[in-house]
Amino acid sequence: MRDDYDIIILGTGAGGGTLAYGLRDSGARILLVERGDYLPQEPENWDPRAVFDHKRYKPGELWQDAQGRPFAPGVHYFVGGNTKVYGAALPRLRREDFQALEHEGGTSPAWPIQYEDLEPYYARAEQIFRVHGESGQDPTEPPRSGPFPFPAVPDEPYIADLRHRLRAHGLHPFSMPMGVDLREGGRCIRCKTCDGFACQVLAKSEADVCCVRPALESKNVELMPNTLARRLLTDSTGRRITGVEVERNGERLVLHAANFVVSCGAANTAALLLRSANDQHPNGLANSSGMLGRNYMMHNNTALMAVHPTRVNETVFQKTMAINDFYFKGPNFAYPMGNVQLLGKLQAGMLTANQPLVPRPILQGIANRSVDWWVMSEDLPDPENRIILAPNGAIRVIWKRTNMVAHRKLVAAASRMMREAGYPVILTQLMGIDTNSHQCGTACFGTDPAQSVLDPFCRAHDLDNLYVVDSSFFPSSSAMNPALTIAAQALRVADHILNKAPGAVTAEVESR
């Protein structure tokens, strides 16, 4: 490893991995630091019992709730971060999501940028992540500068029939934008172990495959895996980060760079900055506003299984369709409700972890006859929902549900939708604090340093050379999957670092 770098990026997920990709040809000396290793390609990748019952790829780490009770968070520490096991849904936020929106439970605040600021980067991110989709189907779809890079993932016959049934009831089902390699000669085999699983054939559009590995082809980009960032160090003025203290193979060392990017995920990013408190920053780095760790959001989520007792669902790759008819208002409800999207096909092995007392054959019989949905509503920002450090240093999540009237109405609307489509049995399960794969909001960006942690290009207000590029910057959670927005903003930040920032990396590289 070199002695020092132009940029050190902590984390290799949708934020850090995409940022490295965006900077790979800059000539800047870049070090990617990842607390995990490459996730192995092995038969267990596609084994429901190994993944869900035995939690083979979970870190074994425990966080705490507000009462100090431990729980296992929905995080994964590998090169590529949580994108290694995500469901590969890559929609854009709606145009209105960037503006202030009134909800039944409160106001979803405006972002300091508009949709138009991010649209060119959405388009680039869709190319990088090989997004398959079709425009013109969803009335809430924002304007696009061009078509999707690849055609939508086609429905299998059972789902195609369901799409027809939903349209017959006046709904507008649309093809979910998906990041899977279904190009001609692509790797995807349309298996039923995509959503929630690691891809054994690397056909999922994850940060590891689409960003980190291409970035590492540059002679100026290096990766240091199995390395945990402990704290960031500043100079005596407190205005600049001088190094990051890391732990690797039981050894502590300090890595130096001109610029630092934290991309550890909303909870871990907040925790790292809080752990980095010093005399100049007694409440944590980038926290003069007191907003660091606050406004933690993670969506209101319910899994819904619509069961037809006599009709077998033989679909293999189910996650091809979504519904936004209730996104901005619902039937007999004047406020936004959210998004409904198909899940990857549920299997008995995926259900036994949550239903251990139900015999596996019964679970398999239900799964064979179900259509499976993810019902998602916006989790509104609340400063009292926050990340703090427990006395033992563990991450403590203080979180109470928001906007639940709208979410319950969305679950009811989705249940009614499926009953009208011919499914008499509806089973639902509300997800809890541990279902936090969509976590966001702990270092919100904004124009007012007294009310935000980051500026609109994700640089910390309080420090000259610190950026945060992950879902921490979200001022609101919307009701769409966050990965593409994280990636798009990472590309926007990359352009800013290279071309627009005072004292940018470009100047440092040219001066060597």
Average pLDDT over residues 90-96: 98
Angle at 22 between CA 247 and CA 211, to 5 degrees: 65
**φ, ψ for residue 79 (rounded to 5)?**
-60, 120
The CA distance from 404 to 400, in Å, is 10
Query: What does each C-alpha distance from 416 to 176, 410, 425 come to in angstroms?
Result: 21, 10, 11
Q: Tokens 């929902």: give the residue.
A: 385
Tens of pLDDT, residue by residue over 432-442, are 999 999 999 99
Distance between CA atoms of 345 and 367, rounded to whole angstroms? Answer: 8
The alpha-carbon radius of gyration of the chain (Å, integer) is 22
- Tens of pLDDT, residue by residue over 356-395, are 555 667 777 888 999 999 999 999 999 999 999 999 999 9
The span from the CA of 120 to the CA of 22, in Å, is 14
For residue 426, the cross-strand partners are 306
Q: What is the tens place of the pLDDT at every residue in 53-72?
A: 899 999 999 999 999 999 99
pLDDT (tens digit per residue) in 384-432 = 999 999 999 999 999 999 999 999 999 999 999 999 999 999 999 999 9
Distance of alpha carbon 32 from alpha carbon 276, whole angstroms:
19
Q: What mean pLDDT do residues 211-223 have?
A: 97
Of the candidates 441, 436, 459, 346, the residue with the CA atom closest to the CA atom of residue 386: 441
End-to-end CA distance of the chain: 18
Contact 18, 467 (CB under 8 A): no
Amino acid letter, 398: I
Nearest to 482 by CA among 329, 412, 379, 344: 379
β-pair type (251-262, 466-468): parallel
pLDDT digits (tens, 9 = 90+) for 444-503: 999 999 999 999 999 999 999 999 999 999 999 999 999 999 999 999 999 999 884 434
Q: For residue 512, what pLDDT band results from cuts at 50, 70 and 90?
A: very low
Q: Domain boundaries in the chain?
A: 4-510
Could you tell me the two tokens for 17?
Answer: 């991995």
pLDDT, position 151: 98
Average pLDDT over the chain, rounded to an integer: 94
Evaluate if residue 156 carries a pLDDT over 60. Answer: yes
Contact in structure between 376 and 339 (CB atoms under 8 Å):
yes
Backbone dihedral region of 2: left (phi > 0), alpha (psi from -120 to 50 degrees) or beta?
beta
HSE at residue 39, side-chain half, CA atoms within 13 A, is 31
Which amino acid, residue 67?
Answer: Q
337-355 exposure pattern, b = at least 16 Cβ within 10 A, e = fewer: bbbbbbbbbbbbbbbbeee
Please state, for a pLDDT cut of 70, what percent of the chain lies above it: 94
Q: What is the pLDDT of residue 509?
A: 39
The CA-based dihedral angle spanning residues 231, 63, 482, 487, taken in that order and rounded to the nearest 10 degrees = 30
Does domain 4-510 bear CATH number 3.60.15.10?
A: no
d(Cα 444, Cα 435) in Å, to the nearest integer?
Answer: 21
State residue 64 phi and psi, 5-degree precision: -125, 150
Per the CB < 8 A criterion, the answer to whether 47 and 296 are in contact is: no
Contact 378, 476 (CB under 8 A): yes
Candidates 496, 471, 497; CA nearest to 482 is 471
For the segment 159-197, what is each residue's pLDDT rounded down to a tens digit? 999 999 999 999 999 999 999 999 999 999 999 999 999
Q: Which residues pair with 422 in a beta bridge?
A: none
Tens digit of each residue's pLDDT (9 = 90 or more) over 126-143 = 999 999 999 999 999 999
Report the candidate in 212, 230, 241 with the shortest Cα–Cα distance to residue 272. 230
Residue closest to 286 by CA, chosen among 409, 101, 453, 90 = 453
Phi, psi of 252 (to 5 degrees): -95, 135
